[in-house]
Amino acid sequence: MRLAFVIQRYGLEVNGGAELHCRWLAERLARRHEVEVFATRALDYLEWRNHYPRGTEVVNGIPVHRSTVRRPRDARVFGSLSNLCFLEAHTRQEEEAWVRENGPFSPALVRAVSAARSRFDRFLFYCYRYYHCYHGLPAVRDKSILVPTAEEDPAIHLGIFKPFFRSPRGIVYLTPEEQSLVEDASGNREVPSVVIGSGVNLPDAPPGMDFRARHGLARPFLLYVGRVDRNKGAVTLFAYFQKFLEESGADVDLVLAGKAVVPVPPHPRVRHLGFISEEEKVAALRQCRLLVVPSPYESLSVITLEAWKLGVPVLANARCKVLMGQCLRSNGGLSFHGYAEFAESLRLLLGEPGLAEALGRQGRDYVEREYSWEAIDAKMEELFLRTA
């Protein structure tokens, strides 16, 4: 089959969860199918400014066709529309304006997808909330497969998305919780769908790489990996961790790996390293005491799966149904509602090495059992047949 992936950003430099999932799945399916990617020229997800050259580039053997973003996102306008659409009475036109301002505003990408309609058997659209998905999918609806990457945030309840979720030929969900969320919001249970999760591709850390020595980390540490953002729970994590230190006197640091879009507190036990390579990430996971995932909004936490793949226990935000579900199904971590549970869970994981080791081992068994690429291959082939 000829498959086209359509996504907002694509490249080896793009480390976002949905974008990484797209690249991994595209590269996996390229073993059996002819795969191409349609994306914008953006690298940054906040303003969507053009970064990559216009035209076609080959990334890990896959042609990637990049279209220009006509204008960057205006944070003030987008924020105002978000407040209006999420908190007040509003119109359909205002919801569609929200999609435009959310971006990336690239009519050229939509035109490129429409023009390629006859060349492909399926178009896999990532991330329902973005302009290219909302406007591009209808142009190839009878050949479309939606990968919504939906989270429990207000956008899922916008009226324009109810018929949209019922329109594709098929849907790929990342977790059972995401499937329930979308089906409850839109009533689209009749659309053929599959829950695939994600395979896990981890590079080997270079022999002898000592992450703690490399970054001057004298104490044991908790690890956070990803965008340091309020919407990812970073501000709550800062407050909880500092309070925990004050109350417990624990000899532990918090290490943050990822781009910061909120201020990181100037605390001697909070270390922000910024972007690190995939190899460094593996080394960091191997040496941390646990991975902390405070995000209230996730459609699938790939970093959680990566931690479990390496036998690392996880402390996750129970307010996120996806993270809670992953922890319950795997028995690979603890979760918290509020500070009291955060502190008690952290005391257990730091104070009882046997418990932490058992949770990490159970997480590893879960990933190896449920998230193999072979299982994902079979599910995708089944969906292609059901949507023929």
Q: Residues in the chain, how many?
A: 388
Report the C-alpha gap between 15 and 1 in whole angstroms: 28
Measure the CA angle with vertex 110, ends 104 and 113; round to 5°: 130
Model-level pTM? 0.83
Extents of the domains making up the chain: 2-199+372-386, 211-370
Question: Options 3.40.47.10, 1.10.1750.10, 3.40.50.300, 3.40.50.2000; which CATH number does 2-199+372-386 get?
Answer: 3.40.50.2000
What is the pLDDT, as a whole number, of residue 103? Answer: 96
What is the pLDDT, as a whole number, of residue 272? Answer: 97
Cβ atoms of 211 and 280 within 8 Å: the answer is yes
Does this chain's domain 2-199+372-386 share its CATH topology with 211-370?
yes
pLDDT tens digits in sequence order for the chain, 388 residues long: 999 999 999 999 887 689 999 999 999 999 999 999 999 999 998 899 999 999 999 999 999 999 999 999 999 999 999 999 999 999 999 999 999 999 999 999 999 999 999 999 999 999 999 999 999 999 999 999 999 999 988 999 999 999 999 999 999 999 999 999 999 999 999 999 999 988 888 887 777 789 999 999 999 999 999 989 998 999 999 999 999 999 999 999 999 999 899 999 999 999 999 989 889 999 999 999 999 999 998 878 889 999 999 999 999 999 998 899 999 999 999 999 999 999 999 999 999 999 999 999 999 999 998 888 998 999 999 999 999 8
Report the C-alpha gap between 31 and 377 in whole angstroms: 10
Alpha helices in 88-229 (DSSP H): 92-102, 107-115, 131-136, 161-165, 176-186, 211-214
Supply 34's token pair: 């002819």
Helix (H, G, I), strand (E, B) or coil at 23: helix
Q: CB count, 10 Å around CB of 354?
A: 7
What is the pLDDT, as a whole number, of residue 30? Answer: 98
Report the C-alpha gap between 247 and 8 in whole angstroms: 44
119: DSSP letter: G
Cβ atoms of 279 and 203 within 8 Å: the answer is yes
What is the pLDDT, as a whole number, of residue 53? Answer: 96
The CATH architecture to which 211-370 belongs is: 3-Layer(aba) Sandwich (3.40)
Supply 129's token pair: 């909330």
Cβ atoms of 50 and 69 within 8 Å: the answer is yes
